[in-house]
């Protein structure tokens, strides 16, 4: 399966995060048939919630749609490599696959800085597909941080 279409949906969620002045990260959860069962975007600024990461929001929506916390058979598609909190959450939710766009050299926990999702000490290790539409994800993030840096300089 190509992950471009679900990643485009995640990119649309990332774009929507900009309205709340949040870092543009978006996520979707698709079930085994490819149906979207959860979406999310960063909401930390908009909601004042330190756990308001796109992945957490999408996982909560998917669990609510399913009526259970186990998301076996599902794929989490996210525009940026998950942090340790989000990587831990997707492992605990038993997500089968993680698909992400841009690597995060500062906080990434799916191969960049840490590799929580493939840690052999854990009882669940999802498949990882990295770099899907990475240029688009990176461009959104770079634009956001450039605007924020230019505001700080003034």
So which residues are the catalytic ones? 55
Torsion over CA: 96, 28, 89, 144 (sign): positive
Give residue 59's Cα distance to chain centre. Answer: 9
Burial of 131 (0-12, 13-18, 19+ CB in 10 A): middle
Per the CB < 8 A criterion, the answer to whether 63 and 39 are in contact is no
Is 74 annotated in a binding site? The answer is: no
Q: Is 76 helix (H, G, I), strand (E, B) or coil?
A: strand
3 state SS of 97 = strand
Take residue 104 and report the two structure tokens written for it.
């995060």
User: Was 83 annotated as part of a binding site?
Assistant: yes
Annotated binding residue at 86? yes
Q: Which residues are annotated as a binding site?
A: 53, 83, 86
| Residue list, annotated binding site for Zn(2+) | 53, 83, 86
């Amino acid at each position: 399966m190509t992950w471009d279409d679900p990643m485009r949906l995640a990119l649309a969620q990332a774009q929507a995060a900009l309205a709340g002045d949040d870092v543009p990260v978006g996520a979707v959860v698709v079930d085994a048939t490819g149906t979207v069962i959860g979406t999310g975007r960063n909401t930390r600024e908009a909601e004042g919630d330190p756990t308001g990461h796109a992945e957490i929001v999408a996982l909560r929506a998917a669990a609510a749609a399913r009526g259970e916390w186990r998301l076996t058979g599902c794929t989490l598609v996210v525009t940026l490599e998950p942090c340790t909190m989000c990587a831990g959450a997707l492992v605990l939710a038993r997500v089968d696959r993680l698909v992400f766009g841009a690597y995060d050299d500062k906080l990434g926990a799916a191969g960049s800085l840490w590799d929580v999702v493939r840690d052999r000490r854990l009882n669940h290790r999802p498949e990882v597909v990295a770099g899907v539409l990475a240029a688009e994800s990176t461009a959104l993030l770079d634009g956001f941080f450039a605007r924020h840096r230019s505001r700080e300089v003034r």
